[in-house]
Amino acid sequence: MPRMPKTKSFQTPKGMNDVLPGVQKYWGKFYKVARELSLYYGFETLETPVLEFADLFKKGIGLNTDVVEHEMYTLKTKGGDFLALRPELTASVVRAYIENGFANQPQPIKFFHHGPVFRHESAQAGRYRQFHQADFDIIGESDAVVDAQVIQAIFAVLVELGLKGLSIRVNSIGDKTCWGKYRDELKMYYRNKIGRLCKNCKKRFKENPLRLLDCKEEECVALKASVPNSIDYLDKPCHDHFKLVLEFLDELNVPYVLDPYLVRGLDYYTRTVFEIVPEDGAGSQAALASGGRYDYLVSQLGGKPAPAVGGSIGIERAINEMRRQDVKIAAVKPKVRIFLAQIGDLAKKKCLRLFEEFRKNNIYVSESFGRDSIKAQLRVADRLGADLALIIGQKEALDETVILREMQSGTQEVIPSVKIVDAVKKRLKKIHPRTIANGNNS
């Protein structure tokens, strides 16, 4: 007899991961903290599509960046549109700002935006092909105080998550008026070192030498040790702006260090750039958050010129760091105080309806509908620590009644189904005097 072919076992694509129930509590904590603080700091929530026209990122991020050249997931639709899974959130935020007429509203506009992003890069610890970011963006304000406020908001989220030992690395890369001279100095510095650069950096040397400072290859990192300092080449407006940013950070008393070699890997950044990292550097892919000012991006994407600044938290990295630091997350599941037990199909139907009645009354109920043995179901109720068991058998289902049993004493009484919700509320209030009268027992 011929052997049956082996059934294929499917796995997630490389660099893409399931978020399992045991980790969901960290995600829940992150979103709760980020949303609450975004509201406190005045950011309005924005959502954009996962798919955008690929040209949005080519024009916004830069044609010669690693993200656009090597890492974008692109597709062509049946209608001929060339789309991309978004590799970052900022270009999408700016597109939404322009398209929806936010420039005509009082400025600045503050957006909080989160969701999955996609980059086809080497998957490793702390770096995934599908990952999630949370962005804080302020568009329409050039004052240095909003640079500090974005950094403050993002730092506050990470601290509120329970993370300790964080440091902010900050720098200014200037703007168009500063770049020419500084890039000339960089080229002069690297000219006799080209042979020691990695393949990508040899290309960067010709196209945008500033991005040589963003390379993570060991040899290229070593060459940065004596590179010219970007701050020395700032003109007076950029210098004064950065000085104010640092003074605001001093006032906030946040832990920052000046890193004159810090740049960002995307072409739209101007002036302030920053990263937030664990001070011990032990976390894989150490930067938990990063960002900076992008004063030219709105006009690059076809809008009326508007200064802007923003920053992004890598959600997986923040959660990995929470787990590394053993941050404790309190259980969010409400305490089980009511357990529904049943015998027979008719009783199950009645229990399903009753289950929904309790939900509408904000009373948390547990069950084990798949079990038929009352004894087995009550063991589950006991294990869950339920105060009351509501039992419906064939007789009760026909009579439209419910047996209410106190688990601790074992006493029980028969109550009409139409009165059971009120009866449970009164009984819970007696057992737990602080229980809210409307039955909220979370």
Q: What is the pLDDT of residue 116?
A: 93
pLDDT score of 98 more than 60: yes
Q: What is the pLDDT of residues 316-339, one digit of tens each?
A: 999 999 999 989 887 656 666 888
Structure confidence by residue, pLDDT tens digits, 222-274: 777 777 888 888 899 999 999 999 999 999 999 999 988 887 767 788 999 99
Query: What percent of the residues of the chain are helix, what percent strand, and what percent coil, each to the nearest 5?
Result: 45, 20, 35
Work out whether strand 270-278 and strand 289-293 pair parallel, antiparallel, or are unpaired. Answer: antiparallel
Mean pLDDT of the region 371-393: 83
Q: Read off the pLDDT of each residue in 379-391 and give the average, rounded to a whole number.
A: 85
The residue ranges of every structural domain in the chain are: 21-174+234-324, 338-431
Confidence of residue 132 (pLDDT cuts 50, 70, 90): very high
Average pLDDT, the chain: 84
Distances (CA, A) of 372 to 85, 158, 337, 348, 386: 49, 48, 21, 10, 19
Mean pLDDT over 386-410 rounds to: 87
Class of domain 338-431: alpha beta
Beta bridge partner(s), residue 76 = 82
pLDDT at site 267: 76
CB 257 within 8 A of CB 280: no
pLDDT at 288: 93
Contact predicate 389/341, CB 8 Å: yes
> What is the value of pTM for the model shown?
0.82
Residues 6+ apart with CB under 8 A from 119: 67, 71, 72, 73, 87, 129, 131
Q: In the beta sheet, which residues pair with residue 257?
A: 169
Please give the pLDDT value at position 107.
92
Supply the pLDDT for residue 144: 94
Q: What is the pLDDT of residue 439?
A: 43
CATH 3.90.1010.10 fits 21-174+234-324, yes or no: no
